[in-house]
Structure 1
Amino acid sequence: MFKVIKKNRLITYNSLGYHIVDNKLENRRKPSKVTVITPVYNSEKHLRKTIDSVINQSIGFENIEYILIDDCSTDSSRDILLDYSSKFDNIIVVFLKCNTGTPGKPRNIGIHLSTSKYITFLDADDWLEPTGIESLHNILEETGSDYVVGKTIQYRSAGTKIIGEHESCKERRAVSPFSIPHIFHHLGPRARMIRASVIKENQIQFPEMKFAEDKQFFIDVLTHCNTISTTKTPIYYLNRLDNQQTRLTNQTNIMQKTECNLKVINYIINKNLELEKEQMILNRLYEYDC
């Protein structure tokens, strides 16, 4: 155990290098319907808007388990998280002892701590459509699919645009992921919800890389899904207004990105997938990243 005092607050880190604020996990009641996982690092400017977008979900915040993992922020992010944690029993805040430099480890911790039937991800400077979680949850409940993805709208100073149009251009219900053209072209955590058992039973984790960690994770998820669904409904708002300098991918040079992409390519080759499935995945990685 490691003990650190910060701003008159004693923080005791476990052997895995993280601290759960107020030990809320020990007092949890019945599992919520959905767990939202947010990695946080120096996100003070947008963090309240992000958290409020989860609190104000139409599904009812009482049906949400919200886990936020702070990766050693040096701004006021931790104070903001403590404020929300003190007000809501279902907001679970985790502090890491050492900065990891990647959203992979914080997300993995969130997955490990989650108790809900479904998991979704939200980055700390983005926000959700008020009906977003309910829309995805209802589709999974109705179809029995393992995965559902909806529409992501990106905000830039020049205007808005749709991200990953192929995966939100039509309503699909309970189809093979490999039946959807270009399904592997956008593999970020946005606007999607996953059956938790798919992740946990197959021991799927984000690799701790500065780039392409989400590609490997969601390729793994999709290859383990029996069926998935898609919807045209807006779910997620991707903030690209004023955070270009702080985004981790923009702090990664071309050599680092290439190294990470090669790791993902080798990982896929070593999975020994059916040839047609492997080619579909690798074509995306070769065309877009090499």
Structure 2
Amino acid sequence: MSQPYISVILPIYNVEKYIDEAFNSLLNQTIGFTNLEIILVNDCSKDGTLAILERYERDYENVKLMTLPKNSGAPGTPRNVGMQHTTGKYTIFLDPDDYIPFDAYEKLYRVAEEWESDFVMGRMISFNDSNPTGHQWFHITFRDYLMKKSYFNVNIDEVPFFLQVKTAVYLKLVRTDFMKENQLKFVEGMKNGEDKYYDMQLFTLAKKFSYIPETIYLYRTRDDETNPSMTQQDMEPTMLNDCKAAMLVKSLLTAEQYQTFQINALRSLFWKLINPGFNSLPYEKKVFLLEKMTPVIEGYNPNIIQKYYKFEYPVVSLISKREYDLAIEYIKLQISRKTWYLEGKQLLEIKNTQDKMLSSISWKLTKPLRKLNNLRQIMR
């Protein structure tokens, strides 16, 4: 068998509901399924996932299945294991509860071959789990005008704004030789934030990378975009992981580069801070988490922070000064502002739906019938 064009690594745990959709999107790739090497790393799933994976391995020669001896509890370990078994010319990741457009890998592969980049990156679209065929949206970083054009064989010194783009390892097709020569790997044991370190290794080590403003990934969100939630149980460990990841990344970057990356780090943290879940934490826990954030924001550039976080900038300023009580009060205001905005947005959507119905032809045609029905009700 000739060398696969692309090795696709899937870290897998309890995804029997979604895995067929992800796998079928690989089967239907225009680059040709037989040109892919599919590496499934099962992290000791407890549902019916393993039986599905065994069927894939049985039915397709280019599917490799391995199961970890014990559950790692985080995607870093299965990704690292998968990276040790790649034989494709390029390597990419796919989370098993997401899926990809039919021509995603062909688009990335063509650019990689033409420009001989260390890695090629595309963009993603998010969709809501409860309504996959409904509203879809680009992450805010891909709405920026800078991300609406192509970049071929650039480096991070030429385009430093890529350091603040949403971390997404599944958007990057990486030359396998480059990956192995630089011994790239993920931080293990972290349920979130572990991909930031891998991502920043790519940007800082690559002599040349490319980006195309093409959608090559469909990302499933488990929370409605208009109703985000973060439980107290999840709040502390996820924020601590974000802080740990930021500190690991800081060791890779210059001071100036880190100031740009801080936007990336703060995006993850603000999603949790400006959230009712943070509001409901005990006072001591809030202060503890803000203290952990302090090293993350040290040395920030006010101009960069205000460019991306106009309303949240006072939070950064107060935390940097260790004015934690004032920061907590300002966070409360921001949570209220966000709540009212989201509720207003929902009401506006309801109004627009009603207006559309009232202006429809069917509503106008049935007007006489409604009048007749009302008259009958009165005469009873």
| Match 1:217 to one of 198, 201, 204 | 198
One-letter amino acid of the counterpart of residue 276, structure 1: E
| Match 2:212 to one of 206, 231, 247 | 231
Output aligned runs, 1:249-260, within 5 Å: 253-260=234-241
One-letter amino acid of the counterpart of residue 261, structure 1: D
When residues 115 and 263 of structure 1 are mapped into structure 2, their CA distance, relative to the original with a 3 A threshold, is same
Residue 116 (structure 1) aligned with residue 88 (structure 2): yes
Q: CA deviation at 1:243?
A: 10
One-letter amino acid of the counterpart of residue 63, structure 1: N
| Match 1:276 to one of 256, 261, 268 | 256
SS in 2 for 1:113: coil
1: distance between equivalents of 2:166 and 2:35? 29
Residue in 2 that maps onto 1:203: 183
Contact preservation (8 Å) 1:50, 1:127: yes
Q: CA deviation at 1:82?
A: 0.7
How many aligned residue pairs are there? Answer: 257
Residue in 2 that maps onto 1:142: 114
Residue in 2 that maps onto 1:172: 151
In the TM superposition, what whole-angstrom CA distance separates every residue of 1:146-186 from its partner, at most 9, and x where no partner exists?
A: 12111211111361001240475211111123415244331
SS in 1 for 2:260: helix
Q: Which runs of 4+ in 1 moved over 6 A?
A: 249-252
Contact preservation (8 Å) 2:163, 2:257: no
In the TM superposition, what whole-angstrom CA distance separates every residue of 1:43-100 from its partner, at most 9, and x where no partner exists?
A: 1111111111111110111111010111111111100011111111001111112111
One-letter amino acid of the counterpart of residue 134, structure 1: E
Q: Which range is displaced more, 155-164 or 50-59?
A: 155-164
Output aligned runs, 1:26-175, within 5 Å: 29-156=1-128, 157=131, 159-163=135-139, 164-165=141-142, 166=144, 168-175=147-154
Residue in 2 that maps onto 1:187: 167
Q: How many percent identity over aligned positions? A: 29
Alpha carbon RMSD of aligned pairs, Å? 2.3
* Structure with the largest fraction of helix: 2
Structure 1: gaps spanning 5 or more residues:
1-28
2: distance between equivalents of 1:199 and 1:47? 26
When residues 115 and 251 of structure 1 are mapped into structure 2, their CA distance, relative to the original with a 3 A threshold, is farther
Q: CA deviation at 1:242?
A: 7.6
When residues 109 and 250 of structure 1 are mapped into structure 2, their CA distance, relative to the original with a 3 A threshold, is farther
Structure 2: gaps spanning 5 or more residues:
270-292, 294-380
Tell me: higher relative CO, structure 1 or 2? Use CA pairs within 8 A at least 6 residues apart.
Answer: 1
One-letter amino acid of the counterpart of residue 174, structure 2: I
* Structure with the largest fraction of strand: 1
